[in-house]
Amino acid sequence: MLVRIITIFPTFFDSCLGEGLLGKAAERGVVEIQIDDLRAYATDKHHTVDDVPYGGGPGMVMKVDVWDRAIAAARKAAPGARVVLLTPQGDRLDEAAAVRLSREPGLVLCCGRYEGVDERVADHLVNEQLSIGDYVLTGGEAAALVVLDAVARKLPGVVGRAESVETDTFTAGLKFPQYTRPPTYRGWETPAELRGGNHARIEAWRRAEARRRTSRRRPDLAALAAAHSVRLVLLERAMAAAISDPQSAIAACAMRAVEAYRLAQLVVCVPDVDTRQVLRNAHLYDVRIVASPEQLLARAKHETVIHLADQPEADQLPPAEVRRVIAAARSGITLTWGGPAPDGALVAAPALPGPADHPLALMAWLDRLFGTRELQTE
Ligand code: 6GU
């Protein structure tokens, strides 16, 4: 992936890009980083990049024409790249955004300064705006590094074991606590559960700890990551009829749903297709394969079942209400999609353009439900 950073402080990036994860990624050729000096696109002899604001007030505003030339050069150097303006006014960077950006062919990170950038840059020249949190930095440079690090570690071959990306904090709430030798230090013990070598016990302990600290420290994440209790059931009919290659479409859908929406468990009920073929990497994603929808739904009787409807119908729940139901659920939620609504299910409205029985419609629906901003259509 080609990443081009446009900045008035080109030397800011010198030390960190050669080090650690980003250094390794560059060395291996997984990312190529170009630093571009915004001042090179100024036209006067003082290389002026800002001017006083219309309407008065403190601070200077970065000039639209200078950014226009810099971004045009970047689009030429990195065809197809997504152009991102770093600004506290942007959408908040989160793990789903990092995953989404890691799938772009290239990125252009435009470092604004906090006093401001002429609004026409945001309106006409970039594809999106990102912020890294609710605090003010003097410039977008530190934010660009944060974005770059978060995105780069999603690229294959950057983080050593695929597994460490799978178990990252935020993929499904906060991470479990980790320990290494010695077993006791100044009387501080490591948990006995981790030392016994019983893998099932270790897994159970880690899952429980992760869930406990997520709900204590980050109830906001816990609601979304209702995690180990939100299950998505893909019912076969509509889907198999709608697509020519059900195996790979379902697999893509399943992987993305678990990754981007932090569904900790996804259940696929596709009796008519070869499920082994569908989910070669199922074990990585905690995907369960169940023989028939009836079997699953019988087991799930005590759960709330929300059916994502193919067609708009009366009495459908809007996405905000579905989110509320999921967050409030105590004993688990099953989302079903693809066939007719199971008995007793709440029915939710897709209200989406295009055929609602296509996997992309499901992804768009989940985007709305779980707050991922953009639908990946490639
Ligand atoms: Cl992207 N830029 C600046 N200047 N401040 C920020 C930010 C970005 N994200 C949070 N604060």
Evaluate whether residue 376 is within a structural domain.
no
- The model's pTM: 0.66
183 and 239 housed in the same domain: no
Instruction: Decide whether any atom of ligand 1 lies within 6 Å of the 129 Cβ.
Output: no
Helix (H) or strand (E) holding 376: none
For residue 34, the domain's CATH number is 3.40.1280.10
13 and 40 housed in the same domain: yes
- pLDDT higher than 50, residue 378: no
Place of tokens 């199971």: 342
State pLDDT tens for residues 199-242.
888 887 887 788 778 777 876 676 555 434 566 666 654 444 44
Token pair listed for 234: 């893909």
76 and 184 housed in the same domain: no
32 and 130 housed in the same domain: yes
- Average pLDDT of the residues in 120-131: 96
Residue 373 has a pLDDT of: 39
Least confident interval from 209-213, 314-318, 361-365 = 361-365
Mutate to test the pocket of ligand 1, among 132, 138, 146 (most ligand atoms within 8 A of CB): 132
- Average pLDDT of the residues in 333-338: 76
List Cβ neighbours of 17 (8 Å cut-off, separation of 6 or more): 23, 26, 33
**Spacing, Cα 131 to ligand 1 middle (Å):** 5
Token pair listed for 313: 């119908």
- pLDDT higher than 50, residue 366: yes
Evaluate whether residue 131 is within a structural domain.
yes
The pLDDT > 70 percentage for the chain reads 65
Strands 188-189 and 184-185: antiparallel
User: Would residue 168 show up in a list of annotated catalytic residues for this protein?
Assistant: yes
Higher pLDDT, 176 or 5: 5
Instruction: Decide whether any atom of ligand 1 lies within 6 Å of the 9 Cβ.
Output: no
Evaluate whether residue 120 is within a structural domain.
yes
Domain residues for 240? 227-370
316: pLDDT confidence band, cut at 50, 70 and 90? confident
Residue 276 has a pLDDT of: 52
104: pLDDT confidence band, cut at 50, 70 and 90? very high
Instruction: Decide whether any atom of ligand 1 lies within 6 Å of the 143 Cβ.
Output: yes
Higher pLDDT, 114 or 192: 192
33 and 105 housed in the same domain: yes
User: Would residue 193 show up in a list of annotated catalytic residues for this protein?
Assistant: no
Evaluate whether residue 52 is within a structural domain.
yes
CA 131, CA 59: separation in Å to the nearest integer?
Answer: 20
Per the structure, how many domains does the chain have?
A: 3
182 and 142 housed in the same domain: no
Q: Among the atoms of ligand 1, which is closest to the Cα of residue 144?
A: 1
122 and 139 housed in the same domain: yes
Evaluate whether residue 164 is within a structural domain.
no
Residue 377 has a pLDDT of: 35
Higher pLDDT, 203 or 262: 203
- Hey, what amino acid is at 299? R
79 and 122 housed in the same domain: yes
**Alpha-carbon torsion angle 148, 150, 155, 157, nearest 10:** 100
User: Would residue 350 show up in a list of annotated catalytic residues for this protein?
Assistant: no
Residue 209 has a pLDDT of: 84
374: pLDDT confidence band, cut at 50, 70 and 90? very low
Instruction: Decide whether any atom of ligand 1 lies within 6 Å of the 135 Cβ.
Output: yes
134 and 60 housed in the same domain: yes
Would you list the DSSP string of 94-117? -HHHHHHHHTSSEEEEEE-BTT-B
**Spacing, Cα 158 to ligand 1 middle (Å):** 26
Residue 3 has a pLDDT of: 97
Of the three residues 123, 152, 181, the one that is the final residue of a domain is 152
List Cβ neighbours of 375 (8 Å cut-off, separation of 6 or more): 360, 363, 364, 367
Helix 319-328 crosses helix 359-370 at what angle (to 10 degrees)? 70
HSE-CB of 290 using CA atoms within 13 angstroms: 23
21 and 121 housed in the same domain: yes
- pLDDT higher than 90, residue 62: yes
CA 129, CA 87: separation in Å to the nearest integer?
Answer: 7
306: pLDDT confidence band, cut at 50, 70 and 90? confident
17 and 147 housed in the same domain: yes
165: pLDDT confidence band, cut at 50, 70 and 90? low
288 and 362 housed in the same domain: yes
